[in-house]
Amino acid sequence: MKQVKERRDDQTASDEEREDEQDLRQINIGLLGLGTVGTGVFRLIEQHQDDLQKQTGCKISVQKILIQNVAKERHIHVDEHLLTTDPNELIKDPDIDVIVEVMGGISNTKTYIAQALNEKKHVVTANKDLIALHGGELLTLASENECDLFYEASVAGGIPILRALVEGFSSDRVTKIIGILNGTTNYMLSKMSKDGLEYEDCLKQAQNLGYAEADPTSDVEGLDAARKIAILGTLGFHTELSLEEVDVRGISSVSKKDIDYGKEFGYELKLLATADRKNNEIELEVQPTFIPKTHPLAHVNDAFNAVFVQGEAMGETMFYGPGAGELPTATAVTSDLVTVVKNIKLGVNGRGTVAPYRLKKFKRKDNRYHRYFIRLIVEDEPGVLAVITQSLAQQNISVSKMVQKHYKEQQAEIVIITHEAAQQSFENWEKEMNLYSEKIEFASYYAVEGDDSR
3-state SS of 295-363 is: CHHHHCCCCEEEEEEEECCCEEEEEEEECCCHHHHHHHHHHHHHHHHHHHHHCCCCCCCCCCCCCCCEC
Other C-beta atoms closer than 10 Å to the C-beta of 321 total 17
If we measure between CA atoms, which residue out of 181, 217, 188 comes closest to residue 204?
188
Angle, CA of 118, 121 and 125, to the nearest 5°: 105
Phi and psi (nearest 5°) for 243? -55, -40
Q: What is the DSSP letter of 364?
A: P
Angle at Cα 50 formed by Cα 47 and Cα 55, nearest 5°? Answer: 120
Tell me the residue type at 182. N
Alpha-carbon distance 244 to 375, whole Å? 29
Contact 297, 308 (CB under 8 A): yes
Q: What is the DSSP letter of 164?
A: I
One DSSP character per residue, 370-396 reads EEEEEEEEEE-STTHHHHHHHHHHHTT
3-state secondary structure of 20: helix
Catalytic positions, written as ranges: 228
Q: Are the beta carbons of 271 and 219 closer than 8 angstroms? A: no
- The Cα–Cα gap between 242 and 344 comes to 30
Which candidate, 436, 289, 296, places its Cα nearest to that of 373? Answer: 289
Cα–Cα distance, 132 to 226 (Å, whole number): 9
241: left (phi over 0), alpha (psi -120 to 50) or beta: beta
